[in-house]
């Protein structure tokens, strides 16, 4: 699952950097043809669904173009590529820990419990 997520993000970014995108990415009434590829990227319904989220596409494009916004800066694209993103590390959750304060310390801070 995590490798699929990295693959999806990587493919989304590659598509976001394309100059032209097929109509089925933008028009909901146009169906995705089976086994479709754009610049070598296999297109699936999930990819199209996420690509239609403008804010996500803009985030994936952020700072990857040259100063004149005309073309992708290859050096920036290499540095900020999501292809090597470690999803496992991002999704890692810290283990639960017990509070280190004792009840007497809490009484000192909050005052004794009043009934």
pLDDT of res. 56 = 86
pLDDT one-digit tens code per residue, 8-37: 888 888 888 887 888 888 777 778 887 788
Residue 16 lies in a domain: yes
Q: Report if residue 105 sits inside a domain.
A: no
What is the rounded (10 degree) CA torsion for 49, 22, 15, 68? -120
Average pLDDT in the 78-97 region?
A: 75
Give the integer Cα–Cα distance in Å for 103 and 89: 35
Tell me how many domains the chain contains.
Answer: 1
* Whether 9 contacts 81, CB under 8 Å: no
Residue 58 within a domain: yes
Q: Is the pLDDT of residue 57 over 60?
A: yes
Would 10 be classed as within a structural domain? yes
Q: Is the pLDDT of residue 103 over 80?
A: no
**Structural domain that includes position 74:** 2-90
Give percent of the chain above pLDDT 70. 79
């Amino acid at each position: 699952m995590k490798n699929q997520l990295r693959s999806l993000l990587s493919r989304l970014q590659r598509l976001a950097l394309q100059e032209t995108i097929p109509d089925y990415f933008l028009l909901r009434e146009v169906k995705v043809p089976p086994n479709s590829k754009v610049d070598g990227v296999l297109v699936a319904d999930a990819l199209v669904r996420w690509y239609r989220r403008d804010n996500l596409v803009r985030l994936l494009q952020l700072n990857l173009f040259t100063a004149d916004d005309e073309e992708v800066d290859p050096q920036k694209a290499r540095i900020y590529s999501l292809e090597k993103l470690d999803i496992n590390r991002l999704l890692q959750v810290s283990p639960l820990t017990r509070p280190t304060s004792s009840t007497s310390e809490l009484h000192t801070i909050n005052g004794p419990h009043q009934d």
